[in-house]
Structure 1
Amino acid sequence: MMTLSALNQFLKQHTPEETQRLNGVKKDYSQFPVARGKFDTPCYRFDTNLEDLRSLFLSKKVLPSYYNFAVVKQDRFENVPLHIHEWLELSYIYSGACTMTINKTTFRLKSGQMVLISQNAPHSVKRCSENDIIINFLLTREYLNGTFFERLSQDNYLTHFFIEALNTTMQESKYIVFSPEQKQNRLADLTNQFLCEFYSPSVTSGPFLDSLFTLITCEMINLFQHGMVLDHSSVDQIYTILRYIETNFADCTLSSTAEFFNMHPNYLSAYIRQHTGITYKELVQTQRLSQAAKLLRSTALSTNDISLAVGYQNTSFFFQLFRKKYGCTPMEYRNMLHASDTPNM
């Protein structure tokens, strides 16, 4: 894998396109159609699909391809005009800064920040300087709704809650800026590690990159939920309640939870349904069964012990609920996992 120092040297090199810009050759955007709509300036539609993008960059030996999304180094020495496209764009400011306009809002992004731009959101980027390096991850909507969040939303409703909030924010504002603390920027650390592996892949590059991008996503959600808690008191309250249930799901009741938060049980029940769309009972049950599935995957505990551990004294009732959610008994669930892990002879 490439070192961080080698990554820095690599990214500072001029791409063939950047060399052309420095020599006075401007990019011709007339090949792209002008999008319909009410825009202050002409807005181009970049119709190139991800497969074409990957082939283009690979053939030019600018960047390799990676699975079902593309990674593109921003051309530093040109103004990128107002444009829209079908894929989502996750822009990472590796070094320096850049001025970006998204949906008629202009802001300055600094090193270590990321911005997630929605599909068909009109945006443009001002010409950067030598030390301003931006890396763009281009993602399809299917990837964002599928692999991007799939593994993160299954185990607890708290994460699911913030994913729904993130999607809502994206629909309303068309972008989300992630601004970590500069002294402890895990987002930058993880992304830099990803880029080191991406540009100099090892034998295990596939799963390594997959795991790193999952961690990047986790950190984005952490930053997003932190911002929500700081900015919205009502979100702070539901966040605290969800966290409490996530921690105490095995033995909490509606009455005990309401008492902890100095609420009437009926009010708490209505409050949870208003903010999550499900009942208190469904929320606790989802958490218990998800934890049971996790214990089946990661421990050798008996199904009776797992039933008790997640808060069900009646094992038969636990089996009934588990089958309804997963389509099989706890033992069948465990056996299927073991069968899938057994190598073919």
Structure 2
Amino acid sequence: MIKRQDIPHNHEFFELFYVYSGKCISTIDDVPVEFQQGDIGLYSPKAVHCMKTPDDGDVVINVLIRKNLFDQTFLNMADDNDLITGFFMDALYNPNSNQKHVIFKREQTTIAPSIIIQMIYEYQKNDVFCQNILSAYLVCLLSDLARSYTNRLSHVPMHRNNLPITSLLSYINEHYQTITLEELAEQFHYSTRTISNFIQRETGKTFRETLQNYRLVHACQYLSKTDISLNDLPELVGYSQRSTFERAFKEYFHCTPAQYRKNHQ
């Protein structure tokens, strides 16, 4: 539970909080945001934040997610074309990311609040099955938040033809091996400048960064779930040279593909 008031801080965990009753005020980067009953906040380890509950009846449930637990959960979610996976990936591995938090209002969530309550009940049992069940609940929780986040973004259209950002991202993910900005613009009948600006405005990333994220996500899947040769992998995920792929991979994950496979397979 959140104390009445705390001081600005960050930590090595992902932090998720749920306003069970009343309200709270969470400040991130010196900007206060009021959360009402039913709202959910999700902060990355880089987010410097503090929180206060104005009234005695305010109850906020706090869930801290370890990085290594996220790594396991992320691999279960990486097959899905969702943006919250990208949020985690950026927050965990990209030191230059400006994406530090996601906010879910009560009307934007579906079963996430119920899952959080079930996680508390399960945590209190503390029996031999507890950790496996909590891990399964975590996958369900993050997947439900991903669905809510994606549905929210799907209602953000471009000015002409009502094209949602999720359609662009789905197309990039489906054609990540060979897609170019010019081909994407031609496919959706916009100029390259319009497409590029729209992607950056709605995701906080350039087209090149977005494409690289999808390629690296798929590379992680191949490394953790298959025995494909490290010589064949770069071309499979869209890189023409192994050196270019390994440089991008190491810059993002701070380890080589071989080391990643050893740690996660």
Query: Is 1:321 the counterpart of 2:248 in the alignment?
Result: yes
Partner of residue 61, structure 2: 137
Amino acid at match of 1:240: S
Q: Which has the higher contact order (CA 8 A, sep 6+)?
A: 2
Work out which of the two has the higher radius of gyration on C-alpha atoms and give 1 or 2: 1
Q: 1:206 and 2:128 equivalent?
A: no
Tell me how far 1:257 sits from its aligned partner: 0.9
The one-letter code matched in structure 1 to 2:130 is S
2:18 to 84, 87, 90: 90
CA shift in 2, pair 1:319/1:152, >3 Å: closer
Task: Give yes or no for contact 1:148–1:217 (8 Å, CA) kept in 2.
Answer: no
List per-residue Cα deviations over 1:35-90 (Å, max 9, x = no partner).
Answer: xxxxxxxxxx82599xxxxxxxxxxxxxxxxxx9xxxxxxxxxxxxxxxxxx9741
* 2:83 is aligned with 1:158: yes
Q: State the partner residue of 1:216.
A: 141
User: CA 1:258 to 1:201, structure 2 compared with 1: closer, same or farther past 3 Å?
Assistant: same
Q: Deviations over 1:270-318 (max 9, x none)?
A: 3323333332122212211221122111111112332232122433432
Q: Residue 46 of structure 1: SS of its match in structure 2? A: coil
Q: CA RMSD in A?
A: 4.4
Residue 187 of structure 2 corresponds to residue 253 of structure 1: no
Q: Which one-letter code corresponds to 1:46 in the other structure?
A: R
Letter in 2 for 1:284: L
Mark the runs of 5 or more structure 1 residues left unpaired by the alignment.
Answer: 1-44, 50-67, 69-86, 93-97, 127-134, 339-345
Query: Structure 1-normalised TM-score?
Result: 0.50
Q: Which amino acid aligns with 1:238?
A: I
Using the alignment, how far apart are the partners of 1:298 and 1:220 within structure 2?
Answer: 25
1:203 Cα shift? Answer: 0.4
Q: In 2, are the aligned partners of 1:162 and 1:225 still within 8 Å (CA)?
A: no
Match of 1:120 among 47, 52, 62: 52
Deviates more, 1:262-271 or 1:186-195: 186-195
What is the identity percentage for the equivalent residue pairs of Structure 1 and Structure 2? 20
Give ranges in structure 2 of 5+ residues lacking alignment: 8-12, 26-33, 42-49, 89-97
Seen in structure 2, the aligned counterparts of structure 1 residues 219 and 202 have a Cα distance that, compared at 3 Å, is same
| Equivalence for 2:151 | 226
Decide whether the 8 Å contact of 1:152 with 1:218 is kept in 2. no
Identify the range of structure 1 (311-320 vs 247-256) with the bigger mean alpha-carbon deviation.
311-320
Asked if the contact 2:83–2:146 (Cα under 8 Å) also holds between the matched residues in 1, the reply is no
Preserved CA contact (<8 Å) 1:198 1:209: yes
Offset of 1:152 from its aligned partner? 4.8
SS in 1 for 2:51: coil
How many residues align? The count is 227
Q: Is the 8 A contact 1:178 1:220 kept in 2?
A: no
Alignment partners' CA distance in 2, 1:148 and 1:119 = 25
Assess if the C-alpha contact under 8 Å between 2:176 and 2:214 holds in 1.
yes
